[in-house]
Every structure is written in C-alpha cells, then in structure tokens.
A = this chain, B = another copy of it.
C-alpha cells in the first residue's frame, strides 16, 4: 500500500489533505477515488485512509482507522557511524533505515578524513534526513529514523553508553564476538558503533571500553566502514527475532 508521511499534528483528524510533495507523488501514482493509502506521522502512528477527492495539488482522504505501525522493529537500534566520505554515510543512512534502525548518529573520530564544517552541516543533515524519509517510505516503515550528529567522540561514547547493549566494533578485537555480547541478557535498546575509513585509534578503543562499551569483532575479515554497521545491524535484527 502507498505510504505518505505527514507532520504529526496533521494526523489528528477524521480526514486529511495531502499537499505539496505528497500531492505530487499521489499524482505520479495516479491515485483515484476509493483507493486506500497509509498516512504516517513518521513516529510510529499511521492512518489507513480512503481517497475521497483528487484535485490539482490537493488529495483529500477520509481516515478509516488509526493504528500503531506494524512494521517497526521490537528493539531500538542506534547506529553510530564515524564521519566517512559523503556517499558512504548516505549509503549507510539509506540501508540502515531499510534494515530498521531507530536512529543514525554520525560522530567525529581521530582518523576521519571527511568531516563537514559547521556551515555545511545543517544542509547535510537536511539532506540525510530526506534520504532516511525516502528509505522509510520505500521500505514501508512507520518511523523515519532521526539522523543526527554529535560534536565530539566523547559525546558519542556517552550517548551510546546509555543503551541496554552497547557495542563497539574493532578490527583488532579477537576474543569477544557479537554473539557473546548479545547473549548476556535480554535487551530493548542497542548501540552499534563503527569507525571511519582508517579505523579507530587504539586510544579510542580504550576510551570506548572505559565508557562502558563492549569491544567486539564482526569476524576474521576486514569490513569496509560502510559495510560493518549494516552487517552488525542485520545480525542484531536477526538475533532479536525480527526474521
């Protein structure tokens, strides 16, 4: 079923009007009176609606039923990815959204070769949020993951450490596997932290450990910085019973 995202305040009615980009999209899809669509607030609430009128730039809908999204993961996974070259970060935002991530946080670390300055960051965040919204729509999600940045490596660690399970992936770790880290008990929230193109510095690994993160491995092969978070996210979704 076609899915439109609107602002949360626009969902609190018995009927809805799609305008702007949503109306344009509806036009491309040639929506007709009587067809059913889903309108989501991007925060997990959605309305099953019937098209009642199609005009230029405006689609009117009657709300049939309001529900909590049925396609969200039971576990909230936060993907912490060190700043990487633009297309890699964008790739991870798109794919992590499809795979069900709750939020995506970009953070600076010592070996980041690419790090947007204050000026370009606002524009980039807007662009990244659009990528997440588009991927959420295509994959049928009810929540658009928030894409955000934190100003320092330390801030990233402190934020990540608040989850039930907080994992830090390091290519030189051999002893602790992801499975060992997940077997310690049940979990509702997970932080996954991965490094930039050049990997983490040894001192950063120590800091992560001190902050309470579990340093662990994703196996014997070296994964690229855009592959590691998606591999870890897929495995956590599998482990938590999503598929």
Contact = CB atoms under 8 A, between A and B. Distances in A.
Contacts of A238: 178-179, 234-235, 238-239
Nearest to A178: B243
Interface residues of A, number: 36
A138 B222 contact: yes
Contacts of A237: 219, 231, 235
Given A234-B231, A238-B238, A243-B235, A221 B99 contact: yes
Nearest to A139: B221
Contacts of A177: 241, 243
Nearest to A232: B234
Of A71, A139, A232, chain B has the most CB atoms within 10 Å of the CB of A139
B139 A222 contact: yes
A227 interface: yes
Contacts of A178: 238, 243
A223 B139 contact: yes
Given A71-B220, A239-B238, A99 B227 contact: yes
A179 B138 CA distance: 25
Contacts of A73: 219
